[in-house]
A = this chain, B = another copy of it.
Amino acid sequence: MEVTRKSFKDCLNLVYTAVEEADFLAIDGEFSGISDGPSVSTLTNGLDTPEERYTKLKKHSMDFLLFQFGLCTFKYDQNDSKYITKTFNFYIFPKPLNRSSPDIKFICQSSSIDFLASQGFDFNKVFCQGIPYLNKEEEAQLREQTEDRRSQQANGVGTPSFISPSSSKGPANVPDEHMGYINRVVEKVEALFASTDKTIDLEPCTGFQRKLIYQTLNWKFPKGLHVETVEVDKERFIQVSKVDEEEKKKMEQQKLEREQCQLNDAVGFSRVIHAISKSGKLVVGHNMLLDVMHSIHQFYCPLPEDLQDFKEVTMCVFPRLLDTKLMASTHPFKDLISNTSLAELEKQLNESPFKAPRTEAAQGFPSYDTAKEQLHEAGYDAYITGRCFISMANFLGSFLTPPREYVSAQSKLVEPFYNKLFLMRIIDIPYLNITGPDLQPKRDKVLYVTFPKDWKTSDLYQLFSAFGNIQVSWMDDTSAFVSLSQREQVPIAVNTSRYAESYKIQTYAEYVQRKQQENEKQTPASKSWTEDRWLKSPYMSSGSSGGFGYPRALRKRGGSPITAEKGSTEAADGWSDYSFSDSTGSKKKKTDEVVESKTSEGWLNATDATESFGSSPMKSPDEDGADLAKDAEGTLGWHQASASKATPARKSPKNKKKSEASSPSSLFEVPEVW
């Protein structure tokens, strides 16, 4: 269901009901751009810490506009074993509602706009019919202003714009040059009393004149008159009405209601986010970090400086999140799913070993034809995301004994995926953990190298030619991370640089320490990313094979610079693995000219096998079952889960052989937590 400024008011109750009755919600946003940096790759160094990545996204992405928001609610119908869906596609635009509204500026990125245009995105609908919004602070300000005005008017002090401590109820102190004008107004009002008309509109005048009129009329006609400033097409004029006390009260009551109404109109789309937030329902998204950041930034409050604060705000606004891209990239899905882009994921999840979920649009809501892709309409994307979640959740039921076809959104089976948001292109940290400390990979094969501005990737290959294959992640023009393939070579490499003048090599640990010291100097009280929560966590356990690389097949689709998951640098580059893509981003032209390391790819391909950081967002055993007794909603899921725990289901599902090759032995094992 398309929702615009016109239809928003009428739809709002539908939205409230849909959210209230839903088992879970899926969301998606479309933005006017992704990165205002020189290139998307500046946002995504493969060795960013979560803190660094957050800071980059905050700095380079929040000035874009979230201008389409998709919400799809999913309600399970037990009798028919299917989900009933209600999809809303909201157009959003910060139309200045009146002259005191903030005049928002936002950035557009031409590649993003061009991409959306090619997908048939309707910009006219956004700009002409977009729903306005206010964040919490703006809303509070507006409420306060309205309240102030009301109490002032209750005190008989007239005009909304010009209240001065000296404006008594005595005669207005009218400057000579305005005397004639004011006298004419008074004459007009006296004529109104004499006539049968009820109302006159005065001519538009200056604010100062309005003030004089209010003061004069309030003083001359303390009773029987209602004076109000009316704004039509951003032009203000005064309306004077003859009224008895009854009518006067009624008009004031109406005015109050009108104001309340205007206020709600101004809060606009933010009310939808408030409803989602208040429901506490599971909110599912695909690669949803930017969606979450934008939603909070635009409809709640400016994003906090600190990642930890962001996590806390996020938990207030969206207490339960699930990222289908992260889920699909995690055991037991990661080895069954070759491409986690939304479109490809949806296709794969309709096929064995998965099952297409049964969903049906509620009456009056659009039923999408998934065959005719309408991808990148936010409502449709939200719908598809929800379907992907259902398929994956249900698939988890196949590991139970006996297997179950349906696994609810509240099931304990799903819980391990809660509140972990996919991190793009970080080599060894697959997700941002909203409710706990982030993973802390050792990075003990990583060197931090600084060098002259004219160095290219080839110079780094040259420099490290003695140390076998390397992997380069550019930081900026004069520094990069270089990952060696063997840990033993790290001290040797550092040593050789001791007498070098043009470049400098540090270990990753040294780099981190120096950064920490710099941070402490700059902001003594601020939390730095090396603090306690960055200490060795239970998540550090070495997982099974594989990082979070981008499968080759991904590149076969045209890149969408909008969802940030198929950014053009990555999708279009056609250059081996994602990790290498990092090194060809901002430095692309340079490497294009001189890539010489014929074997670079070979090593990159080998990465999959040699790098083995933890990549499963499962809860650690000691956390497991803590809140067991509290879980009232998720009974079905939980009983199954505990059953499965009692009798670990090590049986592989039927379609094991169909899955793609070269999977390590642990592939289909149910993680311990179940």
Contact with B along A82-94 (1 / 0, CB 8 A): 0000000000011
CB–CB A106/B95 < 8 A: no
Q: Is A333 an interface residue (CB 8 A)?
A: no
Known A-B contacts A163-B593, A175-B599, A207-B592; A106 and B110 likewise in contact (beta carbons under 8 Å): yes
In whole angstroms, how far apart are the Cα atoms of A211 and B594 in the complex?
A: 11
CB–CB B123/A572 < 8 A: no
CB–CB B108/A234 < 8 A: no
In whole angstroms, how far apart are the Cα atoms of A123 and B122 in the complex?
A: 9
Q: Which residues of B contact A574 (CB under 8 A)?
A: 204-207, 210, 235-236
Question: Which residues 161-177 of A have a CB within 8 angstroms of B?
Answer: 161-166, 173-177
Q: Is A107 an interface residue (CB 8 A)?
A: yes
CB–CB B592/A161 < 8 A: yes
CB–CB B164/A593 < 8 A: yes
In whole angstroms, how far apart are the Cα atoms of A568 and B100 in the complex?
A: 11
CB–CB B117/A110 < 8 A: no
Q: Is A595 an interface residue (CB 8 A)?
A: yes
Smallest beta-carbon distance A604→chain B, Å:
10
Which residue in chain B gives the minimum CB-CB distance to A593? B163
CB–CB B601/A208 < 8 A: yes
Which residue in chain B gives the minimum CB-CB distance to A116? B127
Known A-B contacts A233-B558, A592-B162, A595-B208; A605 and B575 likewise in contact (beta carbons under 8 Å): no
CB–CB B568/A598 < 8 A: no
CB–CB B127/A575 < 8 A: no
Contact with B along A195-220 (1 / 0, CB 8 A): 00000000011111011000000000
CB–CB B592/A105 < 8 A: no
CB–CB A110/B114 < 8 A: no
Q: Is A602 an interface residue (CB 8 A)?
A: yes
Among B36, B122, B555, B598, the residue within 8 A (CB) of A173 is B598
Which residue in chain B gives the minimum CB-CB distance to A129? B117
In whole angstroms, how far apart are the Cα atoms of A572 and B602 in the complex?
A: 66
Which of A33, A117, A162, A204 has the most chain B CB atoms inside 10 A of its CB? Answer: A117
Question: Which residues 219-244 of A have a CB within 8 angstroms of B?
Answer: 233-236
Q: Which residues of B contact A519 (CB under 8 A)?
A: none
CB–CB A174/B234 < 8 A: no
Among B114, B234, B576, B594, the residue within 8 A (CB) of A95 is B114
Which residue in chain B gives the minimum CB-CB distance to A38? B103
CB–CB B103/A109 < 8 A: yes
CB–CB A234/B555 < 8 A: no
CB–CB A235/B558 < 8 A: yes
Which residue in chain B gives the minimum CB-CB distance to A559? B234
Q: Which residues of B contact A107 (CB under 8 A)?
A: 105-108
Known A-B contacts A163-B593, A207-B574, A234-B568; A602 and B108 likewise in contact (beta carbons under 8 Å): no
Among B174, B234, B589, B598, the residue within 8 A (CB) of A572 is B234
Which residue in chain B gives the minimum CB-CB distance to A172? B598
Among B33, B208, B575, the residue within 8 A (CB) of A575 is B208
In whole angstroms, how far apart are the Cα atoms of A235 and B556 in the complex?
A: 8
Q: Which residues of B contact A144 (CB under 8 A)?
A: none
CB–CB A556/B204 < 8 A: yes
Which of A123, A164, A556 has the most chain B CB atoms inside 10 A of its CB? Answer: A123
Among B110, B162, B173, B589, the residue within 8 A (CB) of A96 is B110
Q: Which residues of B contact A163 (CB under 8 A)?
A: 593
Q: Is A337 an interface residue (CB 8 A)?
A: no
In whole angstroms, how far apart are the Cα atoms of A104 and B93 in the complex?
A: 22
Q: Is A450 an interface residue (CB 8 A)?
A: no
Among B99, B116, B177, B556, the residue within 8 A (CB) of A605 is B177
Give the 7 A-B residue pairs with the shortest CB-CB distance, closest first: A123-B123, A175-B598, A177-B602, A117-B128, A117-B127, A104-B110, A207-B575
11 contacts across the A-B interface (CB closer than 8 A): A39-B103, A99-B568, A105-B109, A106-B108, A107-B107, A108-B108, A122-B124, A175-B601, A206-B576, A208-B595, A234-B572
